[in-house]
Amino acid sequence: MKVFVTGGAGYIGSHTTLCLLEDGHEVVVYDNLSNSTVHSLRRVQELTGRVVDFREGDLLDGDAIDQVFDEGGFDAVIHFAGLKAVGESVAKPIRYYRNNVVGTLNLLESMEKAGLRRLVFSSSATVYGDSSDVPLVEKSPLDATNPYGRTKEQIEDILSDLRASDPRWSIAILRYFNPVGAHESGQIGEDPQGTPNNLLPFVAQVAVGRRDKVFVYGNDYPTPDGTGIRDYIHVMDLAAGHIAALGYLESHTGDFRWNLGTGRGSSVLDVIEAFSAAAGHPIAHEFAPRRPGDVAVSYADPSGALADLGWSARRDLDRMCQDHWRWQSSNPYGYAGPPTSNDLSSN
């Protein structure tokens, strides 16, 4: 298939692009590089020995998307592009609704014009809000608690309405749980700008010596060790889920929702222990107050994806930490390398 991948230079997009190329697909990546660089795609080219056709462009520029689609031959779109920082979305809601919702509307309009009606969309377990009814099934009530999560919920509604208006659409909505890890080569991985919001990249930066210690947000949750429990999923398993969804859409029309998680929960202390083992040294941590908006426990029931797609996550938490560590230890400062004196003087 020829696949248009929005946000393909980012964390999950670059790993999925690699898997698509290895699977023999042709890929055109469309990304405005607002939270990524082309280094990730260079590495994907090196790893696969295949060319990534990269177009720098913004979803807010519908004409630019049309121009790419006018070249013809596309079979499907995988739509990763979006802003994803929960805290920033609370501070800058307009930016999030415009980028994520308006950007998606532009993409859908361009797809309609091009007669392209096969789409895989990156949703998130965040749409379930603070439901305490675990494991979460696709039919669990949606109740996102922040603007970022609401952009995902709104886009899911838009996609349902679109397919109700025209039954020729084939749409896979993938609700990721907590993506972590990296390609086993250690050559591509997550490269957060500034202070990481998420646990794994923070732990990894402590392990590599860029930060002093991990702050564990809350040790008084009603969980076995008092810390929050999440369903961490290896990014390569996630990438495989996209390939499986794409295959499903070749022979099915409709709008489908699948949880992509392992179905197993790990606590913050479990993660720190597994990462310490991977890195070969203890990781300093300190208990801190709960982070506002966090739920105690979240994990998926991933049986829907197994039944429909034949997909399930294969890599366990130890493997996630080993692969994340290989990436972090080989690239302590991410793709850009260590800061230079020029970086410091320009701040």
- Per the DSSP assignment, residues forming a β-bridge with 129 are none
Using CB under 6 A, pick the residue from 25, 230, 242, 324 that binds ligand WQD: 230
| DSSP output for 182-228 | --TTSSS----SSS-SSHHHHHHHHHTTSSS-EEEE-S-SSSTTSS-
Q: Please report, as residue ranges, which positions from 41 to 60 form the binding site for ligand NAD (by CB under 6 A).
A: 58-60
- Nearest approach in angstroms of CB 202 to ligand WQD is 4
**Angstrom distance (rounded) from CA 209 to CA 218:** 23
Choose one: 24-32, 46-54, 212-220, 248-256; the region binding ligand WQD (CB under 6 A): 212-220
Binding-site partner at residue 322 among ligand WQD, ligand NAD, none, CB < 5 to 8 Å by type: none
- Catalytic annotation, pick one of 148, 176, 232, 299: 148
- Nearest approach in angstroms of CB 280 to ligand NAD is 26
Query: Residue 225 interacts with ligand WQD (CB under 6 A)?
Result: no
Residue 148 annotated among the catalytic residues of the structure:
yes
Using CB under 6 A, pick the residue from 142, 216, 317, 321 that binds ligand WQD: 216
- Nearest approach in angstroms of CB 62 to ligand NAD is 11
Query: Residue 82 interacts with ligand NAD (CB under 6 A)?
Result: yes
**Angstrom distance (rounded) from CA 55 to CA 52:** 10
Task: Give me 127's structure tokens.
Answer: 């749409």
Query: Residue 189 interacts with ligand NAD (CB under 6 A)?
Result: no
**Angstrom distance (rounded) from CA 12 to CA 96:** 19
Task: Specify whether the CB–CB gap between 216 and 285 falls below 8 A.
Answer: yes
- Nearest approach in angstroms of CB 246 to ligand WQD is 21
Our CA dihedral for 44, 45, 48, 52, rounded to 10 degrees, sits at: 90
Using CB under 6 A, pick the residue from 10, 129, 181, 228 that binds ligand WQD: 228
Describe the crossing of helices 268-279 and 317-330 by its angle, rounded to 10 degrees.
50
Q: Which residues bind ligand NAD (CB under 6 A)?
A: 6-7, 9-13, 31-36, 58-60, 80-84, 99, 103, 122, 124, 176, 179
